[in-house]
Structure 1
Amino acid sequence: MIMRTGRKYVCLLTIIALLLTMLPFGIVQAQSAQYSPFHDVPTNHWALPHIIKSELRGVVTGYGNGIFKPDQTVTQLEAIVMAVRAMGLENETHNTNQFADTSNYDLPTTWNARGFVSVAIKHSLIDEQTFRPSAGASRAWTAQLLIRMLKMENELNMIASTPFEDDNYIPVWAKPYVALAVDKNIISGIPNLSGSYDYRPNDAVTRAQLSTLISRSDRYMNDVSGQLPIGIVKKIEGNTLTILKPDNTTESDARVTNTTAIYDQSYSYISQNKITVEDAIRYQLSSSGNLRYIELIDKNYYDNLPVIEKVNRLQGTLVQLYQEQRLMIVEQEDGRLYTGTYATDAEIEDLEQGRSISDSNLHIGDELELILGDNDIVGIKVIKSSQEAVLSGVIFAIDIERGILTLENNNRYTSYTFDDSVSVEYNNIRFATVRDLRKGDEIQIQTEDNKISKITLITPYQSNEYQGTIVTISVRDEVITIITAESDPVAYRTNSQTEYKINNVNNPKLSDLEIGDHVIFTVDGRVIKKLEVINRNLQDEIRGKLLNINKDLKMITIETLDEEYKTFKYDDLLDVYIDGNKDGRLDDLLLDTNIAIKIDKNTIIRITVNNQIAGTIVGLDKNRNTMTVEHDNRTTTYELSNNVEVRMQDIRRAIVEDIKLGMEMVAKLERNKIIRIDIKYKYSSIVKTINTDWDRIEVIDPDNSNDTIRYYVYEDVVIIFPGIEDPELADIRVDDVVELTFTGYELSEIRVVPASIGNITSIEASTNEIVVRNRNEVERILINNNLNIYSANGNQISAPNLNTNDFVRVQRIGDKTNVYLSSTQEVEFFSALGNRIYYYDNNGNYRNLALDREALIWQSNTFFLPGDIQQGAKISLYTFNNRVLGIRIH
């Protein structure tokens, strides 16, 4: 009985649905209501629009039978699955070749959990050490996930605060992420009893909440795979929309139905009649053309939306006309210039004469009304013809006896009549006449009643050869601007008769030219007749193995990297560079040596031999006596000479067996065989003494901290000091951490590893970390056996002896970290001059200390410069080795 009743109910619904489809759209729309695809998400659920959108995108799925479970909490594993899908990376989860090591996690095996975790690790969505798959995804942790999903970590403000009342309860590591997510309008707070908002960082997010957060992130993820498209509503006809897409194609016949989910920018449900033309929307269209989802979006967040050009009218005066390009420039009443092209079928009408005309009947000075279409001018109406048209062009022909002058302008030819009354202005000729004009002159004419009344010379005809550099190219207008040694940039026209010559370019044309080309050109009037590019003769380097030198024929044969045999001529001006020495000779070259040659007009002008390579050892075959090296963006296998020399700084009398794959090295070649290998070796230490007179540096022996090792710093040693341009040995200070690089037995590089300074903000027992804030970031120091902490007196202490707000200096030495507590004194500030700070101590004595250039000066959460401190201010000085590294203003 119950089943029969159910069938009657279903049939009744079917009949009603069929009746609705036959009603006019407006009636259907008025009767339709918000639709939910899930039984447990009612139509008034606050997260319904986000759940629908996330489900359409495939970010979330239901549990079958129309169940979504919106209030179920999300684990960290479930959260990264949603984030990976939102980023359009789900296909990557099936690439087992790139799976990361996930053996540390207890992951489900009934679905591809390992693939999602691997992608999350690859794209830095999670921290491998702290990721807990089955733990609830807290609101603090989720904020970090969202910012990483949007790849916005570079926008983090490490000292930012949030607007929430429970800001102090948000973990220090999470606060920058929460603050940025709030700033991006992704995260909002939870109302509290005081009328303010809390964040509740430790609460776990629910499926509805995470769907909402990812949905709000859409505006920052327009380019990801699977994202719902965006567009502009171009036309509305009944229940059908025409949508203009970012690529300027359209979705036509996109139908709104009674189950279409439609929301405004605040995600409130609206009816279809709230959608207007030019609204920006995000939408989802079914294969049958029905719109499943529409969301009005804020255009300010999208820079790739198309623009619908309105059809409107514009009035002004014609100031220039290019008939070949169908381009006109019109000056409007307010003085603004409108530049536009007119369609080939544009209707041109002369209102004074009441007839249609062609563009050849338009004249400079005509008063026009333009009808503007989507992309160009679709109609031109001449309101008032110019009484005195002004035209310009090059004289193509002049018949003085018959009084006919023909002008050429952009390959269009127009003839005009003139008589003895015509006025001619021709350079400095006092009483010029038409007989002073000649073919090729560029002129401007004024006409009245279709007869020339005045001729003004613009540029006299010239036919000479010039040399210069191209500064602009307009392929559309067929104009090239060239600057020569004798003149300012000059614009020249080209045409179909212009001859081009460009080395290694078959059938060159105008579009093959490039800005910066050096050219020799010949002009006829202002039209370029011939143009040759002279700076493209020199080819890129050709690399290969030297096979033969024939001095009699002055020919060299090489085998290229493509295993082709090529022979080139060389001349007496040939340059030979060997290992950077430009005084090499052909006799110095050995056959089977790798060389690089440069060619000019099929003649070798330079040979470069580099008998030294630097790279990483990726293969070593002791049986075949070969070594494979990755260098210069390629991998090459070299033969080792029988008595190859191996030099390693940490191993005396090293042999090939001491070499390990992955080592960096510099090798010396002879006839393409490696004869010497200098292995690169690095270690970090602390500077004990600097002697600039003897160019020496002493560092602590990494194997015995009671001993020091001395090195001479020769001219070829590279010194790198972040923040200092062209650093010298004198820039390095005692107690600096340095990374020393040796090539073979020789010191080749000193890299200073700057210490960081700041105050301790917290010591987190849960993660076993010390958190230090400096000017730009928050540094997290893991408490382990590689950490050494020293008091201001130099005594080694343990982490529990540290306190919040202690000022510390942090040094990273390889895998070890040293933390030094500063000496502290409360004093009265007097002044800061140069690199010293002047103050009164507690006994009223006037004193001064050196002020480090990296010193931090702050009050609360704001940083200052020395000149910002007011005289008489109470300050705390934090010092190391009698240098001020920190100043806190009270």
Structure 2
Amino acid sequence: MKRITRTIVPFTLAGLLSVNGLLPAVADAASNAASGQFKDVSANHWASQYILKMGLRDVVAGYNDGTFRPDESVTQLQALAMVVRNMGLTEEAKKYESTAIPYSVPDWAKGSVALAISKGLIKPTEKNFYPDMPASRAWVAQLMVRMIDKESEVGKASSTLFTDGSSIPDWAKGYVDVAVANDLISGYKEGAGTAFKPNRAVTRAEMVTMLSKGERFLKIESANTRIGYLQSVSGNTLTLTDESGKEQYRYTITSDTQFYNGNVKTTSANLGTDSQLLVISENGQARYVEVINFKQKSKYDKAVLEKVFIEANTVVLRLADGKLQTYTIAKDAVIGAGMDRLKLSDFVNGDEVEFRLNTDGQVSELFRTGLSKAQSLQGSVYDVDKQNKLLTIKASSGKLETYQYSDITYVEYKGKRFPSIEDLLPGDEVKLELTNGIVSKVVVEAEAGKTNGGDVGTVKAISDKDRFVTLQGEDGKIQAYTVAQNAIITLNGALAPTLADVKVGDKVEFKVQKDMITSLTVKNRTVYNNKDLLSGSIFALDKKNRILSLKTTNGELKAYEVVSNAEILINGSSKKELDALDKDMNVSIQLNEDNKIIYINADNRVRAEVVRVNTDDKLLTVKLATGETKVYVVDPKVDITIYDVRGEDLRDLRIGDKIAMKMNGNKITDIEVERSFVYRVTENGGTYSNRLTVQDENGRSHDVIIDSRVTFSIPGIPYPRVSVVKKGDVLRATYLGDDLKEIAIVPNVYGQVVSVSPEMGRIVVRDLNGVTSEVTAAYGTTIQLGDRQYTNINVLKPGDRVQVAEATNGAKSIVVLTKVETTFNSLDPLGDRIYTAKQSYYLPDSLFNRQVNLQSLLRGLRKGDNVAIYLLNNEVYEIEKVN
């Protein structure tokens, strides 16, 4: 975006101010804004920083007499135009200039008003947009919330207590709460309280201040505005980089360059390396530099472990540039892989790692991100691609590794004469030897599918909950069996199959011991990974000749024959015939070696994102997966499903909701809404269970079952099992309608609050190893304190023990642990229970793993010593001796 130096009026601030007969000289205004020398704005004016910045960003301008007039009020139209410009939508607004709007506004403003309607910034049905009326604080609060796309949070934020709260219009109260929670607007101190003054007109100074505070939620980068990380300040040159460090941007510092750290004036000498900066420039010169730190730059370096000297507590790493570097591991270093803590002895040569150094140049954090290839040469056969001569095995870690083999690859397979690669079966345990990166030898150490005379049959009925299966044998007889909790379930292609993955109609091979099934292998089908599937929509379907024409996601048309025994799923339900498929259905297909379809997964629902909801006219505006925006009529009897909501109707839909719709002609008949929830695990069913008991943020208990229909992920673990989930873990559950679709374990920090900065929205937490973390609590953050939930971090205080987990959109879920202050009596002889003056507490193994000095602390306690015990879900998380 170029600076305003032209005298063209359309959609400039000159145009919008002419509504009131105030016409600034735009070229002069740009010059004034650039220098910050408005006659009526002194350097110590409370809003001088924001006036300067918004002028440089071409959001506002001054007048031809050299003034800015900071105390003049703005009209609703002027405020709306400023918001559109702040969002970087000036050019897009021009495309709407011919769009009809239900308001009388100057020609220059028609495009911006039409765009604002399409973006939901103003809504004609609300009948509260009057272009020439002064913009009240209540009205601007609503506009600002919509600007930062937080309307879905209205009604959820904690109510803000203003002395004049009763004078805030009912329609505005939720918006005011969200605006205050996001630090977009604040009240006025009056005596011992704070007033909001909802009907007071917003001034130009106040408006630019609110626009500035909303920048962190917007994409404001342009040709002259950039956000990056400080690499260096050398002489009069400031060098900025992107997060990866690959792109560099250099600016010249002049005597006119203004520096700010937040809202405090500073100098270039006080800028810290890797600080996140906002730089506004002109002709390569930095005119405005602000330390914003919206997002901290990652300071982890990647390397490959070449050597481990355990006795010397030292590692040799090969860095990304190929150089070898030797480092000492700090005594308090955090070492792990994903969510698991490791010892240095757990690492082997060749492991891929990320690490961080402390100020002494020692490794303070070391995480394994990839296993050594040496460990990957042993596992079970996952797939043999004969056409491309590729052998894929699943290593003990669960990670898939693929290797090239050749025509001369030697196979050692006991009991087979002249074995070859083609004799390998999924599940065979093998060890590989490589020569020049090619598999030269395969040793089969154990065969898969050995059932020792096991029986075969067809599944007629199954219950995962009650763990029974009814099978029809080859002789036609039907018998019901109980399935052992530790039964081995095998399904080709599935990484961690459970009984829930077995379906009625499956052909199975099974073993029975003491009237219980101990192993069950599905023989007639394979589970396919999404990466192997072709996706698109059905363009045409010749059911007679079994020809399906697919329109791929990139627009290509391809025709395939469907084999007679192809597996067909529609919304997860098995179908036998092509008649169940229809034109325009979204599908994923799997091809065999002959390029014929053997698997079809179809979805008869339209996926979209909610843009606007018109409950009066039963209209729903959505953005489709193609990027196209469409308006649909909603059937009066529409069936809307939202998890954990009862009596759902259109009013329950939020802007930005992801939905799946079913259509009847042009009408929407069914809507399933995607919603995510943060849970804490209170119980894991055990090694062979796929059931977790969790607690939501309101303290309610839920059971979640993770089967093959649910995407399950844990950071750092490629193919996780449910059994590795621990009590106290935090997870994010995503539902589509009432169906659980995804479970993701969320990284969390446990520790002691060191400091709280409500004005910056940040807290500093120190964990039990002494490592401090700065946590930014974005809008939507919740703090659970006892049985109350808060949204403002000022309820936290130094010394609190907290568990902090990621929620959504940068928000955090924070739980303050219950603190019990008492005196120590004794320790159980087994060392797993502590007796105090109030009661006894069980000490789980996880506590000793978390608090590594606990053994010595307990041994040092004497009867009568004061102690503090911190509880999460009634489990001891930390014990502290209190002086």
TM range (shorter): 0.3 to 0.5
TM-score (norm 2): 0.41
TM-score (norm 1): 0.40
State the structure with more CA Rg: 1
